[in-house]
Amino acid sequence: MNKKEKVQYVINTLQNLYPTTPIPLAHKDPYTLLIAVLLSAQSTDARVNIITPLLFKKADNPYDMIKLSVPEIKEIIKPVGLSPMKSKGIYGLSKILIDKHHGKVPKNYADLEELPAVGHKTAAVVMSQAFGIPAFPVDTHIHRLMYRWNLSSGKNVVKTEKDAKRLFPKKLWNSLHLQIIYYGREYSPARAWKIEKDIITKTIGRKSVLNLFIKHKKSS
């Protein structure tokens, strides 16, 4: 397969496996999604979805959030990890949203990335999943699979995002990045990887990845 054929194979396979792409983080509006995405850093969506209802019961908008203290926020979100940094970020960004954006989440990268604890990936998720603006947020699953599929060098997430945007049609970005995440979790995880299940990597994966797996399997 040439690269164009590989890209189409990925699209077709993922569309067959995941014809619908529900957003994995529970939310009701751009603000609650922003908070949920921030909380998901180095945590799991399942754990975040347990904690956010507790937080949003007390404050589901920036005006109510700044009525809480940073220690109060920290205590609620402690189970998701990195609570000292995340609690300061939630309080700080809520205040900035009120002071600079009339309490609304902005619809552009520049303003989003100016918010405390909001990096490019978080901003891209909000742009895509809250506002439907084409974006290709790259998480660890996408970064790993783009390398395994020989569609990116694996050098860094910035390069992976550029390659994904160059290779895949823009109209598919918002659904495709979720499909790749779902696929990575189910068929091509970082650990306990079984290539027999991983049909995409088995079909189009780079030789170095396949050889490494074969070598590991022979030695086990």
Cβ–Cβ under 8 Å, residues 147 and 153: yes
26, with CB counted inside 10 A (0-12, 13-18, 19+), is middle
Catalytic residues: 121, 139
Find how far residue 79's CA is from the centre of its chain.
19
Residue where the block lists tokens 């590991």: 216
Neighbouring residues of 58: CB distance < 8 A, sequence distance ≥ 6: 64, 68, 72, 76
Residue 141's nearest CA partner among 16, 24, 15, 2 is 24
Residue 111: phi, psi to the nearest 5? Answer: -70, -35
